[in-house]
Amino acid sequence: DAKTTQPNSMESNEEEPVHLPCNHSTISGTDYIHWYRQLPSQGPEYVIHGLTSNVNNRMASLAIAEDRKSSTLILHRATLRDAAVYYCILTRRRETSGSRLTFGEGTQLTVNP
């Protein structure tokens, strides 16, 4: 599986935008980019995913570089509740979904009041 590289930690202030980077230089054409986050004392939760185009949902936006070797998760206005570990994960395209998620160490996001 292709690997991802994320900073160990980042800090932000409340109500400011946050850009969480992820490098995946060995991504293949069939790999999807997923982001999950893990709030303290909880299980991971899905945030967003994409293939080639930028994506938006109610939680965040995902900006994917044109060569797909990197991506950025954007939280438009960070809240204290967004403090979590954020994981960037590549998943191989399959005929059906439901497959292993390979978690790295992720980025610990701290949000200051």
Q: Which residues bind other proteins (CB under 8 A)?
A: 32, 34, 41-46, 49, 51, 91, 93-101, 103-106
CB 54 within 8 A of CB 63: yes
107, 109, 108: which is closest to 5 by C-alpha?
A: 107
Report in angstroms how near the CB of residue 36 gets to other proteins at its nearest.
8
Compare residues 16 and 105 and give the one whose CB is closer to other proteins. Answer: 105
Compare residues 14 and 55 and give the one whose CB is closer to other proteins. Answer: 55
**92: helix, strand or coil:** strand
Report in angstroms how near the CB of residue 33 gets to other proteins at its nearest.
10
User: Which residues lie across from 20 on neighbouring strands?
Assistant: 73
